[in-house]
């Protein structure tokens, strides 16, 4: 079987986690990694280092797909910039779904997104582009998850929630049914969001309250 090539952009801890999922999928071959800090190395995590961000236009071809493998906690600025750089260079994105994830056939997942091990995406969910749904996260029915957002490990997004763009939902956080979260929000680990979040910033606690602006 001919396999599609994937180039990973970014070589930190999140990249290692992406590799673990991709290696479970026989339809893909990891062609290599792009990272500004590793240009003097031949290999990283046993895969070739292909160059820095400036090499991206030279790596675009019809049998190669890209995945942004930079992590996201406080801000999605780098992930969004790299996504737009690849897109502007004519590159195509892959959607990676772990074989152990449970995804409803009635849901949709945007290009450049990755769904990690044991995650559950229930019926009629819409997930945008360049999104991370991390290990054991649960997104319940009729939710909308915006572009460049990270639903972290063990987080629970209950039914009919709407999460904006460039949002980080921390580990074991719970969004109560029907909650709306605006864009550019960070929700700390273990928080419970029981009321709509209408302004950008950093929120923590049970119930979640704003503690700071995002710098």
Residue 17 sits in a domain whose CATH number is 3.40.50.20
Same domain, 123 and 178: yes
CATH number, domain at 185?
2.160.10.10
Half-sphere exposure at residue 114, Cβ-oriented, CA atoms within 13 angstroms: 28
Same domain, 60 and 134: no
Domain-located, residue 214: no
Q: What is the token pair recorded at 25?
A: 């999928």
Cα-based torsion angle of the residue sequence 14, 18, 21, 22 in order, rounded to the nearest 10 degrees: -170
CA nearest neighbour of 115 among 163, 159, 158, 67: 67
The C-alpha angle with vertex 20 and arms to 189 and 96, in degrees rounded to 5, equals 80
Same domain, 108 and 195: yes
Domain's final residue, options 94, 127, 142:
94
Domain-located, residue 206: no
Counting beta carbons within 10 angstroms of the beta carbon of residue 180, is it exposed (0 to 12), middle (13 to 18) or buried (19 or more)? middle
H/E element, 57: helix 56-59
Same domain, 109 and 197: yes
Same domain, 146 and 64: no
Domain's final residue, options 28, 61, 94:
94
Same domain, 50 and 117: no
Classify 87 as helix, strand or coil.
Answer: helix
Domain-located, residue 210: no
Same domain, 114 and 185: yes
Domain-located, residue 62: yes
CA nearest neighbour of 148 among 87, 77, 74, 67: 77
Task: Please list the helix, strand and coil fractions of the chain in percent, rounded to the nearest 5, in that order.
Answer: 15, 35, 50
| Domain interval for residue 17 | 4-94
Domain-located, residue 124: yes
Q: How many domains does the chain have?
A: 2
Residues 120 and 117: their CA atoms lie apart, in Å, by 9
Q: What is the pLDDT tens value at each position of the chain, 215 positions in all?
A: 678 999 999 999 999 999 999 999 999 999 999 999 876 676 778 899 999 999 999 999 988 999 999 999 889 999 999 999 999 999 999 999 999 999 999 999 999 999 999 999 999 999 999 999 999 999 999 999 999 999 999 999 999 999 999 999 999 999 999 999 999 999 999 999 999 999 999 999 999 999 999 87
Asked if 30 and 88 touch (Cβ cutoff 8 Å), the reply is no
Same domain, 132 and 90: no
Q: Which residues pair with 197 in a beta bridge?
A: 181
pLDDT at 44: 78
pLDDT at 86: 98
Residues 55 and 42: their CA atoms lie apart, in Å, by 15
pLDDT at 43: 74
């Amino acid at each position: 079987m001919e396999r599609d090539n994937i180039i990973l952009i970014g070589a930190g801890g999140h990249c290692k986690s992406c590799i673990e999922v991709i290696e479970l999928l026989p339809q893909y071959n990891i062609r290599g990694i792009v990272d500004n800090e590793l240009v003097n190395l031949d290999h990283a995590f046993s895969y070739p280092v292909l160059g820095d961000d400036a090499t991206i236009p030279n790596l675009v071809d019809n049998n190669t797909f890209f995945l942004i493998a930079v992590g996201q906690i406080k801000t999605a600025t780098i992930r969004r910039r790299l996504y737009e750089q690849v897109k502007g260079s004519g590159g195509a994105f892959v959607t990676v779904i772990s074989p152990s994830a449970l995804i409803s056939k009635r849901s949709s997942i945007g290009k450049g997104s990755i769904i990690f091990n044991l995650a559950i995406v229930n019926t009629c969910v819409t997930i945008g582009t360049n999104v991370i749904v991390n290990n054991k996260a649960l997104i319940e029915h009729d939710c909308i998850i915006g572009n460049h957002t990270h639903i972290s490990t063990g987080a629970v997004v209950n039914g009919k929630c709407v999460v904006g763009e460039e949002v980080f939902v921390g580990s074991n956080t719970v969004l109560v049914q029907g909650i709306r979260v605006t864009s550019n929000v960070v929700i700390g680990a273990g928080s419970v969001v029981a009321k709509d979040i209408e302004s950008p910033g950093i929120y923590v606690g049970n119930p979640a309250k704003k503690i700071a602006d995002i710098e």
